[in-house]
Amino acid sequence: MRIGMLTPSWPGGETANGITTSIFNLEKGLSKTGHEGVILTGSITSPSETRIIPLPQFRKWTAIEKANWMLGRDIATVPITANAILTAAKEAIDRFGIEVLLVEETHGFAQFLSPHLKVPVVVVLHGPWFLLEEHVPKNSLIRIDSGRSKREGKGLECCAGIIGPSKSVIDKTRQKYRVENIPTTVIPNSIQSVPELSYDDLTPKETKSILYVGRFDSIKGGDVILRAFDRLVSLGQDAFLTFVGPDQGVRGAQGESVSLEDFCQRLSVDARSRIVITGSISKSEVQNLRYTHAVTVVSSRYETFPYAVLEAMAVGSATIASSVGGIPELMKDGVTGRFFANEDVDALADILNELLNDLDLCKQLGHAARARAIDAFNPEITAQKLVRFLEQDVLKA
């Protein structure tokens, strides 16, 4: 089977974008199982042997469209992007004979594509906007677009199939939109095999080190881990935190955006002295950090199926995560990781304190997590599930 797949950039080995990472791993799985992926992308960062269709250059925006974009009214530019995707999709059909096209739910692109393509369009729920918009500060760099959820719903209602990486996102989407008659399935994201973290080789400081990888924003809960770390240090724990990710501001008490620098000024002097903030770094640099930290924390307020968790599991890192969205479908509490209730800073600090005092427990959790990642989330399994769904539920419909 030949499957067209839309992704923001290509290849995905060096990007923090979850959509690109999932498509990158899926393409590897398809290749290993005798199928082919054809990539549609607006950005090619390096040569690749994969079949690639670059999206055509967008036409220049008018002054009115630029103004609307600045005001957060993305509806003005959505048709421009959709037309570029449509052009690339038609080329993928003509040149490579793709039998189906996978697109993200973003802006409801499926509604612009489905009526004009002779192959079915299937939507993959990477992160529906209706689940995220409530967490965005009013003046955040992530602009509020009041019509985005509506367009998202229209795209889902006219597509040929819906794939969600977790049951959580499928269930919430069914509750939100009229998709009862559309073929739907859960196919988790996949992860490729990597070397295992050796707890025996960690230095004394590394055995007390915590890694956080994610944006500083209200969705990813960067403020939660910082407040928990502040409390952890106040308990007398000789801990260290590496904070990796861009600063997009968290929502303050009045809905305003608070920067990472300003937020850190609210922490104790002792806690601040133990925090290293890297900003955005390459994926290979992030991967190297995973081998020098005893514990990984994911403190998101919602997640569909986070690579922050899956990548930590793959290296065998002891992971503490908020029990939201699809995260409980990745880990089992006390077996392959530890959970804390959403925004429960005290609980997170207490679990961190426990793990940092018990390296054997960290090793046990990490080893079990790695085994589950290899067994349940390898690319070949994901590819096989995808092809089976497409052949049985979409193409035969």
- The residue to which tokens 């690319």 are assigned: 379
173 pLDDT exceeds 60?
A: yes
Domain ranges of the chain: 2-190+378-394, 199-376
Q: Does 20 or 251 have the greater pLDDT score?
A: 20
pLDDT at 70 over 90: no
Q: Are 310 and 46 in contact (CB under 8 A)?
A: no
Q: What is the mean pLDDT of residues 165-177?
A: 95
What local confidence, expressed as pLDDT, does residue 338 receive?
98
Predicted local confidence at residue 12, as pLDDT: 77
Beta partners for residue 241, in sequence order = 210, 275
Helix axes 345-356, 222-234, angle to 10 degrees: 60
Unique residue bearing structure tokens 């609980």: 347
- Model pLDDT for residues 72-121, shown as the tens digit of each residue: 555 567 888 899 999 999 999 999 999 999 999 988 999 999 999 999 99
Mean pLDDT for the chain?
A: 92
pLDDT tens digits for range 196-232? 999 999 999 999 999 999 999 989 999 999 999 999 9
Per-residue DSSP letter, 190? -
Query: Is 173:156 a contact under the CB 8 Å cutoff?
Result: yes
Measured CA angle at 221 (ends 219, 222), to 5 deg:
120
User: Does residue 328 contact residue 307 with C-beta atoms inside 8 Å?
Assistant: no
* % of the chain beyond a pLDDT of 70: 92
Confidence of residue 252 (pLDDT cuts 50, 70, 90): confident
pLDDT digit string, tens, across residues 228-244: 999 999 999 999 999 99
Superfamily of domain 2-190+378-394: Glycogen Phosphorylase B; (3.40.50.2000)
If phi > 0 it is left, if psi is from -120 to 50 it is alpha, else beta; for residue 142 that is beta
| H helices present in 61-106, as ranges | 63-70, 78-96
Omega of the bond leading into 128 within 30 degrees of 0 (cis) = no
Evaluate whether 2-190+378-394 and 199-376 have a shared fold: yes
CATH number attached to the domain at 199-376: 3.40.50.2000
Q: What is the mean pLDDT of residues 299-306?
A: 94
Measured CA to CA, the distance from residue 198 to residue 159 in angstroms comes to 46
pLDDT tens-digit series, residues 14-38: 677 889 999 999 999 999 999 999 9
Q: Read off the pLDDT of residues 335-364 as tens digits, 9 standing for 90 and up.
A: 999 999 999 999 999 999 999 999 999 999
Average pLDDT in the 143-147 region?
A: 65
Mean pLDDT over residues 367-390, rounded?
A: 97
